[in-house]
A and B are shown apart, each in its own frame.
Chain A
């Protein structure tokens, strides 16, 4: 394994691990705050119980999120010192603001988790609201950094034999507000609510199937379906904005996402299919004529650039990107369908739907959001390859000269496996202890 490969795997692993906790860290506080608000309004103790039990799970997930995030902030330098030396000053203001968002989040999380009996109920609820807001804000800020890697802005650069890559005329604000920022931040934030909402809905649906009629789980299901469902319905709209941003600023990534090898007008939308990069075709796909041109540019006759128009060395691994994109869109469609179904049932039945088939669908749908998040990030990050900063710096240039990275890759992989298993076991015991959750241990 080359050093570059090891570094990429370690980065992918660490980010793929952290994002699971980050997503929950953004959305779960909002669910807790809504439950607590319902308690404050109605005085119904079930809502308070709900907020308290969600908070217990959140405490575990936040701790792992915080430590895995700490690893990441060092890892950017440990693995990609060339990248950080170049971009640190350009994107640092975003990271700096993010640091304060983390501070607010950690402070008010401490108050929220340990302060139930120490401050007034309204102050406690406000602390929860602050956690929810600062969590979302920290996500937006870090994603803006990633958006900058995709659509770099706010600097000029020169490359020379003697000095290598140099930046000048740095404008950190323009870097923060780069062209992809709005689309990415919106899509990511919605993804967090959709994925967490439907995940929680699925879990409570499963518990409700086991012990039907438990009021606690019915309320929990209702709340999570509201939050997750609304976000899941908006997600394809925001995905369309993302896709058009990619089409404008990263034509190679768009071509890889769609398995588009030839430049053409009336380009078809491909559903499924397997790209063959050597032959330069995508086989076995269901093609909708003109669909891609229409979706990417809102004009069926628009020209879409194909991969073959770009030098071989500038093309990302098209199979991975195309498949990951298909997985994300498939998950998104299923989640949207589930949300529509829930909406219809609730509207007709005037209450939280609890038919066994619907509960089973929720249970089966619960992992889809997290799968979509991982797949979406694979599209974004692998689709940017071979660039670490699109069209400015190659990933190979940025990697650390320290040899033997595979050792650290193996070490971190084992560490994450250990943490992941522990978290699952601990959360399971938390759910077992919930009302009607089965024999408490």
Chain B
């Protein structure tokens, strides 16, 4: 493995972790917006409780991706950020609004204001992942690399394919959040509600996955070809499908811990599958991992810095999750027994 490929893999891992953790925080915002019924308030409380201590840490994965991109693959960063200037700026506004509104809500003394912050938190939580998906979709279509020095017109990043990828991203995040939330509560009624939401969103994920695949035949044929080109492609597709079915089955049987593991595997495989289909390109059809990499000395130092950082980061993260997420592991046995 060359250093630049290793760096690309690290970047993809950071992106995967952002999707698994930061993404689920967005998804929680979706369920906040859709909180309905007599227990709407307890649903919202559960969500706030679940993401409060961890959202800032989860968010840093995104920053790590950006830093790796501009350090290790500078032409890719410059190209993407110029051509997709507009959707990226809109996405940033969403990130700012929901991050600050989430905190303001916790500290605003008046009830009416809290309800208003709730909306400022929830609505951008829905829009930001869609924009993120649209950006990824536009890159996959190969539109970005064609004229790297100009902003793409709205029609380019608002076409059917990017929009469907955007909705797909949102549905994945919402699915993950619902699955995680089943393990956050002791209250069987709340648990059932999020189980239902997880099952419903898994169906939406499936439908949208099909739509993405269908549209990709026309709009991103290289991607489909890339996925079919190696034996790995088939393997990843089978594994993703298996994980998806297993997650649904586990949810059905109320085996929430298993559902969480399989759902995470499913989402990770979706990302790695897409990356595999696109490799060796970072920005098709022009910039590959090798052709856009920074000089070797930078790559080596960055790998060193990453190794050093990881020795501090990994135990810290484990500590954080042990303090605040142990309860989601402790009750596995209990939550596996179905409700009478």
A108 to B324, CA, bound (A): 12
Contact A172 B297 (CB under 8 A): yes
**Which residue on A lies nearest to B66, using beta carbons?**
A73
Is the CB of B53 closer than 8 A to any CB of chain A?
Answer: yes
Residues in A neighbouring B216, C-beta threshold 8 A: none
Closest to A77 in B: B81
Cβ contacts A83-108/B at 8 Å (1 or 0 each)? 01110111011011111101110111
Contact with A along B302-319 (1 / 0, CB 8 A): 100110110011001101
Contacts of B186 in A (CB 8 A): none
Tell me which residues across on chain B come within 8 A of A85, comparing CB atoms: 74-75, 77-78
- CB-CB under 8 A from A68, the residues of chain B are 96
Q: Across the interface, do B92 and A103 meet the contact criterion of CB distance under 8 Å? A: no
Q: List 12 A-B contacts (CB under 8 A).
A: A60-B103, A63-B104, A71-B92, A84-B77, A89-B72, A92-B294, A92-B302, A103-B309, A106-B57, A109-B56, A115-B323, A429-B108
CA distance A78 to B88 in the complex (A): 8
A82 to B316, CA, bound (A): 36
Give the complex CA separation of A403 and B93 in angstroms.
19
A89 with B309: CB separation less than 8 A: no
* Cβ-based interface call for A352 (8 A): no
Q: Is the CB of B89 within 8 A of A63?
A: no
Counting CB contacts under 8 A, is B82 at the interface?
yes
Across the interface, A89 reaches (CB within 8 A) one of B92, B103, B294, namely: B294
A93 touches B312 (CB 8 A): no
B30 adjacent to chain A (CB < 8 Å): no
Q: Which residues of B contact A66 (CB under 8 A)?
A: 56, 59, 99
Tell me which of A69, A99, A106 has the highest count of chain B C-beta atoms within 10 A of its own C-beta: A99
Count contacts on B: residues with CB < 8 A to the other chain: 62
Is B60's beta carbon under 8 Å from chain A? yes
CB neighbours (8 Å) of A103 from chain B are 57, 60, 64, 309, 313, 316-317
**Docked complex Cα distance between A84 and B80 (Å):** 12
- B82 engages A402 (CB within 8 Å): yes
Contact B70 A63 (CB under 8 A): no
On whether the beta carbons of B53 and A110 are closer than 8 Å, the reply is yes
CA separation between A419 and B93, bound complex, in Å?
Answer: 12
Taking a contact as CB atoms under 8 Å apart, the answer to whether B71 and A59 are in contact is no
Per the bound structure, the CA–CA distance linking A171 and B295 in Å amounts to 10
The chain A residue with its CB closest to the CB of B58 is A106
Residues of A within 8 A of B (CB): 56, 59-60, 62-64, 66-71, 73-78, 81-82, 84-86, 88-90, 92-93, 95-100, 102-104, 106-111, 113-115, 118-119, 170-173, 400-403, 408, 411, 415, 419, 422, 426, 429-430, 433, 441
Residue of B nearest to A172 (CB): B301
Among B100, B149, B309, B317, which residue has its beta carbon within 8 angstroms of that of A63? B100
Q: Which of B66-108 contact A (CB under 8 A)?
A: 66-68, 70-72, 74-75, 77-78, 81-82, 85-86, 88-89, 92-93, 95-97, 99-100, 102-104, 106-108
Residue in A closest to B49 when the chains form the complex, CB atoms: A114
- The residue in A118, A172, A408 that gathers the most chain B C-beta atoms within 10 A of its C-beta is A172
Residue among B70, B309, B316 making CB contact with A92, cutoff 8 Å: B70
> Which A residues are in CB contact (< 8 Å) with B77?
77, 81, 84-85, 88
A99 to B65, CA, bound (A): 10
A115 CA to B297 CA, complexed, in Å: 42
Interface centre among B67, B306, B319 (most CB of A within 10 A): B67
CB pair B316–A426 under 8 Å, yes or no, is no
A170, B298: Cβ atoms closer than 8 Å: yes
A102-B60 in contact given A92-B67, A92-B302, A422-B104 (Cβ < 8 Å): yes
Contact of A81 among B57, B78, B298, B309 (CB under 8 A): B78
Please indicate the chain A residues that have their CB under 8 angstroms from the CB of B72 in the complex: 89, 92
Decide if B109 is an interface residue (CB 8 Å cutoff): yes
Please give me the residue from chain B that is nearest to A173 by CB atom.
B301
Report B-chain residues with C-beta under 8 Å of the C-beta of A172. Answer: 297-298, 301
CA distance A100 to B106 in the complex (A): 27
